[in-house]
Structures are given as C-alpha cells and as structure tokens.
Structure 1
Amino acid sequence: MTVSRSVELAGHIIDSGTLQSCFGVIMDMGGSFEVEEFDIGRSKTEKSYARLVVSADTDDDLQTIIHELHQNGATPIDPRDATVEPAPADQVVPPGFYSTTNHPTDIRIEGEWLAVDRIEMDCAVVVERNGNGQPARARAKVLNAIEEGDLVVTGESGIRVRPPERPRERSGAFGFMQGGVSSERPSESTIEKIAEAITQTKAEDGSILAVCGPALIHSGAREDLARLVRKGYIDMLSAGNGFAVHDIERDLYGTSLGMNTETLDHPRRGHKHHIYALSEVIRAGSIENAVEDDLITSGVMYECVANDVPFVLAGSIRDDGPLPDTITDTIEAQNAIREQAHEADMVLMLSTLLHSVAVGNCLPSTTRVVCVDINPATVTQLLDRGSAQAVGMVTDIGTFIPMLADTILDSQ
C-alpha cells in the first residue's frame, strides 16, 4: 500500500529547471508521481503551473520526499499550519526542527502566511508573538542565537519555499547573472556587464559589499579598488586580517609580503615589512587612528576610513598580530559578517575562497553575487555550498579590478 500527497509548482518552472529537478528528486528517492494538471506559459513572461500527486511506500518516505521538494519550491495543495515547539534551552532546538534554505520562505501560522525575515541557509525559524499573543513575525536564527522558550518551527507542514525564478528574458543589466561559471567568456564584455550591474545597483540606492582576499593586493589591484571605494561604488568591505595588513604594508613600505608589486623585486629585509606594518598599527591603536595620525595615507583601508565605509576584518588561526581592528572571536565575526550580508544588494567576491563561502552562507538567494578568482574550483565550491545565484568569472584579479574600475569610472 502506498501513501500520497498532492503538491503544486508555479512560475517559470520550465526555464528554471524547477520541474525537472522535482521529477528527479521523486524518482531518485524511490517515489513516483502523476501529473494531474500542467498549464504551460506560452510567452516570455507568462508563468506555468503544475500539480503532481507524489506517492511513496511509507509515510516516512513520503515525508522525506516532500521535504526535498520543499527545497525546490513545491508546495502541498493542502497547506497546514506550521508546527512550533519551544526551545528547551539556550542554543538547543527541538528535535526535527526545520532547517532553512537561503530561498525566500513563508511560514503558515493560524491560517496566515508570514514571510521569514533575514532568511539564510542552515538556520532555524523562530515565530515571535506580539503582546496579545498573536503571531507578529517569523525570522531565521542561527543555532547559537536560539534562546530558551523560542518558538521553533518543526517538521515540514506550513512551510513554503520560493526559489528565485529564471525567466526566458535575460536583457538588462542583470541578464548575464544566470550563466554559472566559465573561463571562456570574453572578459571585456563580461566586465562591462558587471560594471553596468554595479552602476544600476547604485542608481537604485542599493548597497555593494566587496569580499576581498590578499591576492588582490599582491596582484597590484590595490589602487584601483581604492578608487572604487573613494568614488562610492563600494559600500562595505569584508576581509581577513591578511588583506588589511598587506594593504597597509604597501602604503608604508611599498611592498606586499615583502615584494614590490610594481617591480616584483624583493627589497633587502622586505620579509620584515609585514610584521613592521602590524606593529605600527598596533602602536597607533587602530587603523582609524593610524589614518588620522597620517601614518596611513593611501590604499583600500585608508579610503574606507576616509569615506566612512564600514569594514569587517574576521580573524583566523593563521593571523600574525593581529591588527587591533580584527575580530578574533569567531561568533562575533560571524555576526558582523551576517549584518553586512543582509544589508547588501550585490556582493563582489574577489579572490578569496574562505571569506566568499563564509559570506555566501549568510546571503539570501535573492542577493546578486559575482565571484572572481583565477581558480575555477573557488567559484565551483561557492555554488556547491548553496550560493547557486552566484555568477563566476575565472580570471586574474589583478586584471579584473583595473578593467572594472576603468569601465565604471570612465563612463561617468
């Protein structure tokens, strides 16, 4: 004897591959399906609709399939209210809690759908009530932020996931951001499209977050990124201790990790410049103090301070020093990155695997992401970790940033 349940999908489900993905999920997990209704959109803007009856051998098997279909945007025909249970202790969630995707999500409470605020992957959903005991809002919470008594959504009922759609029409500034990863695209035309997307984001009063790795400094792109910060095209910066130290070393000694980035020479005793730069900023008390004291007079960190661009420097076990501004507490650093991620409308991930994945984990799938790295595995890993909305460009960051800056600033 089998058990079954009806689900529906609506939107650009053919062009986005959503329908095909759902078929694959059902078959791969040992279930079966029948298509009860299928209305195909017949224009570039018209949406499609499908209703499926999903069957499995047991209730548990069916529930597992329905869970996976949720992640692909399928919604049960007969939605029930979500189940909530109080958290038994701080940082402890009830068994069977719902683990979020990074897609826009709604929770059904007392017959009403509530949009989940601050959605990101691998979180719990907590329902908050107002003073009259009525549901006020639902929001995603990382596990270490769960407090005893929080009403946590459990199970799969009353949950609606809405993956971003990908219609046929790909014109406009953001049309290129649906093409995955490639090292074969013409670099100049792709950079022009990225520049157009950045310009449009700023024209719409959006915020742009740059996630930067030390290779950007080593490759000689420092001055051009600093230009973009100075001209207002970068609103926030996320990086590690190493990026800031190398940027400051370049200002103080003309080197990055002891190498002159213009001549590629290694000055005598240049290997000490890294630690000397650290000591000078530590002596000043902070990067901001070093700028105000005219110790630091150029570069990315200088422009961030001079133009009130907030930055987060997240520390790691590898760090020398670290700088006074570097956040060495992991949870505190995650929370600081999370605040930036939820404020950003577009993110530029520039030659850094670890920070790209860290920021990507905090982003909703609706945030536009461009990832640039000389290593295609960096971009692929970002997508594999769940940031499927990212468009990747495999190229040298030292070539990309100057071309991007010239394209944006020359058009002014």
Structure 2
Amino acid sequence: MALNIPKYTPPDFNQEIFINAPNATLVEVVKDGVSPANYHALSVFPEYFKINNKWVLATESRMDTVCVAYDEMGKESVNIVEFRNLKVGDKVVIGRTEDGSQGIYMYTQGFVNKSHDSDTFAFRSGRSRETAFSIDYDQLYEILKHEKAKNGYVTWVLGTAISLDEDTRNAMERLIREGYVNAILCGTSLAAFDLECGTFGTTWGQKVFRREQNTYENYYETINMVREAGSIESFVKSGQVKDGIMKACVECNVPFVLASTVRDRFTLPGTYDNVYEAQNAMRKHARKTSTIIMVSTILFTIATGNMTPSYNEFDGVIRPVYMYTVDIQEFAVNKLADRGTLTATSVVTNTQDFVKNIGRALA
C-alpha cells in the first residue's frame, strides 16, 4: 500500500470570527518557572494565537505546556515551553477559551478527510484485542520506508522485553543498521541486558532461559565492566561486545537516552539520574521526531507520548507525527490516550513478535 500522508488544511481566517477576534492577551513572567495567572495550557491539537492581528500556529503544541509569544512587529512567533522553563520577561498567552474569543483558537480538523463526515482531528481509529492489525503493519512498513527515504526522524521507545529475546534483539539490531532508527529512548535494563547478551551470550545469566534458574551475576558483571570502561561507547569499542542493540547504536551513530528510575540498583554510565535532565534529553528527540514507536514500556510511553507533538512542520510542510504504542496489554496501549494523547495508533500484541515482524519486513 502506498503511503498517503494526510494533508493539513488551515482554517479560513477570512471568516468574521477570526477577523473580529481580539489579539491574544500577553502577560510577562516576573519569576522564573512561575506562570502568570490564567495561563493558557496547551493540548495535543493544533492551536493558533492572534498576535498583532496575525494568526500564528504553534507548530509544537503538546500537553502540559504554555505558549510564550513574541510580538515584535513583522516577526510574530510563538514558542511552546514547559512551566519550569519559563524565564523572567517571557510573554505568556493568557486565556482559558479556545474558540477565538480571546485570540486563541484550537483547531481539530486540520487533517480531517473532507470526504468523510468526521469532526475528529486524529488519523486513528479505536483498537482492542479483537482488532485485526494487518493494515496497521502494512501502513507502518510504508511509513518507515518513507521516513528513511525522506530523511525523517524515527524515535523508538523500548522496554526491557526487546533485549530479552534473541530473535527480537537481532531484529532491532538490523533495523538500526538498515537506517530505520534515528534515536532510542529507554531505561538502564534494556541496555544492560542487551550488553550482557552481547558480552556473555546470556540473559539473566542463562543461555537457555529458565525462569526458575535466572541469576543477575552476568548482568551486574556487565554493568561493572561498562563502568570500568567509562561509557557504553568505550565498552563497545573495546571489542568485548559481539552484537546487539547498543553495539549497533554506537557503530551507526544512533543516539540513545537512558533514563533512570528511583528503583535502579546499579546504573550504567551515561544514565540520566535527574528526572528533569532526562526529560530534556528525551524531548530533544521527541520534538523533532516524525514517527515514534513506543514498545512494551508503559511509563516511558506515557512520558514520551505526552511530550511529543501530534503534528509538526517538516521542510515547511505541516504534517502529522505518526505515533504507535505497542503492548500485549490492552490497558497499557490505551493508557496513553487516557492521559490525553489521542493520535496514537495502538497495537495489542506480543511486543517481541511485533519487532520481529518489522525486522522481517524491512531489514
């Protein structure tokens, strides 16, 4: 199937509702990290702000953020920032309505196919364990081919399960080497288990997995060896890692972000142990991604999905950011939508099988 990226159709700003709307109210920040009262909090939908009688689109609208406006005549623009990143002097848009009456307009029909009777913004449909996902796989294959050919930015958010199965791990490595991965966001465990397998040929200390016999000896030894080397990159370059996801990332210059959790027992060097620093590092990739695939990790999926714009501007064109959330639990894939990210396509399946299917089709 050929990929048909939905085209964005902006509102008709010649309508009276837009012409007669006032400019957005702007109030300056007087203390770093503290927004003026009645701030306008953004959503995942496209939003416009009227500045000097000009409607400006926020190209990186995302949840739990505020709009900082720049109102120099002829250079009107907006920047979407987190509350904690507000600085004294920033001009924040004030207002709680989204119908244009306060110079703020939330637009839900930018990507709607006009041939259908639909009033939803999203390009998704409902998913459940009874859904046949064949068409989703076919579309994703075409999306990834398109992103590779057009220099898109594909971010993968990966849970530990991806590094615990040999075939899945191999498939992910091939996808990295074939150019279908531009960044990986994950926790310490995925990287550590992957490096254990690449170094010792074991997972949880076993070459053949038996739940009752698992041990962390090789896992901890691997982390210790990486810490002695000083970094994952140095450990990989030492030649001790034979294969795997981290090795492919280092050799293919694919960036990865390791975010720690409060329960991490023994972390790899390079792991972000400050939540704001981790968030900033993850957001650098989320803000420029054109397709994001979140697999087998509920907390990372929710965190990354909420900080990822559902649409963005690429080479001057407004287009949707394709989002996929994949988990064997229906609860897990729906949790992202429950938290407000409405544009993700959910796939309820064994995540190891999912990655192997992608690998067989593309790599």
TM range (shorter): 0.7 to 0.9
Give me the whole-angstrom Cα distance separating, in 1, the residues matched to 2:142 and 2:77: 36
Aligned partner of 1:202 among 148, 151, 155:
148
How far did residue 199 of structure 1 move? 1.1
Aligned partner of 1:226 among 165, 173, 194:
173
Residues 142 and 270 (structure 1), Cα distance of their counterparts in 2 relative to 1, 3 Å cut: same
Matched, 1:239 2:239: no
Q: Tell me the residue number matched to 2:5.
A: none
Give me the whole-angstrom Cα distance separating, in 1, the residues matched to 2:76 and 2:53: 13
Give me the whole-angstrom Cα distance separating, in 1, the residues matched to 2:339 and 2:286: 16
DSSP 3-state at the match of 2:353: helix
Give me the whole-angstrom Cα distance separating, in 2, the residues matched to 1:333 and 1:47: 35
Q: Give the alignment of 1:200-349 within 5 angstroms.
A: 200-220=146-166, 221-260=168-207, 263-265=208-210, 270-349=215-294
Q: Give the alignment of 1:5-404 within 5 angstroms.
A: 78-130=20-72, 136-155=76-95, 156=97, 157-163=102-108, 164-167=110-113, 178-220=124-166, 221-260=168-207, 263-265=208-210, 270-366=215-311, 367-404=321-358
Task: Identify the range of structure 1 (110-119 vs 145-154) with the bigger mean alpha-carbon deviation.
Answer: 110-119
Contact 1:345 1:368 in 2 (8 A): yes
Deviations 1:277-313 (A, max 9, x none): 1101000000100111112231111101000011111
Residues 177 and 400 (structure 1), Cα distance of their counterparts in 2 relative to 1, 3 Å cut: farther
Q: Partner letter of residue 198 of structure 1?
A: L
How far did residue 246 of structure 1 move? 1.2
Deviations 1:37-63 (A, max 9, x none): xxxxxxxx99999xxxxxxxxxxxxxx
Percentage identity across paired residues of the two chains? 28
Residues 406 and 152 (structure 1), Cα distance of their counterparts in 2 relative to 1, 3 Å cut: same
DSSP 3-state at the match of 2:76: strand
Give me the whole-angstrom Cα distance separating, in 2, the residues matched to 1:111 and 1:140: 20
TM-score under structure 2 length normalisation: 0.84
Contact 1:217 1:247 in 2 (8 A): yes
Give me the whole-angstrom Cα distance separating, in 2, the residues matched to 1:278 and 1:324: 9
Whose Rg is larger?
1
Q: Which has the higher strand share?
A: 1
Q: Partner letter of residue 124 of structure 2?
A: Q
Larger RCO: 1 or 2 (CA < 8 Å, sep 6+): 2
Give me the whole-angstrom Cα distance separating, in 2, the residues matched to 1:313 and 1:343: 18
Deviations 1:178-219 (A, max 9, x none): 223222233555323321221122222211110000011224
Residues 287 and 113 (structure 1), Cα distance of their counterparts in 2 relative to 1, 3 Å cut: same
How far did residue 231 of structure 1 move? 0.7
Give me the whole-angstrom Cα distance separating, in 1, the residues matched to 2:46 and 2:85: 20
Q: Partner letter of residue 86 of structure 1?
A: E
List runs of 5+ in structure 1 lacking aligned partners: 1-44, 50-74, 171-175
Q: Tell me the residue number matched to 1:32.
A: none
Deviations 1:11-33 (A, max 9, x none): xxxxxxxxxxxxxxxxxxxxxxx
Give me the whole-angstrom Cα distance separating, in 2, the residues matched to 1:375 and 1:301: 27
Contact 2:184 2:255 in 1 (8 A): yes
Runs of 4+ residues over 6 Å off in structure 1 = 45-49, 266-269
Give me the whole-angstrom Cα distance separating, in 2, the residues matched to 1:267 and 1:183: 30
Residues 134 and 249 (structure 1), Cα distance of their counterparts in 2 relative to 1, 3 Å cut: same
Give me the whole-angstrom Cα distance separating, in 2, the residues matched to 1:287 and 1:369: 29
Contact 1:128 1:151 in 2 (8 A): yes
Residues 202 and 169 (structure 1), Cα distance of their counterparts in 2 relative to 1, 3 Å cut: farther
Contact 2:65 2:82 in 1 (8 A): yes
DSSP 3-state at the match of 1:378: helix
TM-score under structure 1 length normalisation: 0.75
List runs of 5+ in structure 2 lacking aligned partners: 1-7, 117-121, 312-320
Q: Partner letter of residue 330 of structure 1?
A: V
Q: Partner letter of residue 113 of structure 2?
A: P
Q: Partner letter of residue 49 of structure 2?
A: I
DSSP 3-state at the match of 1:181: coil
How far did residue 77 of structure 1 move? 7.4
Task: Identify the range of structure 1 (139-148 vs 244-253) with the bigger mean alpha-carbon deviation.
Answer: 244-253
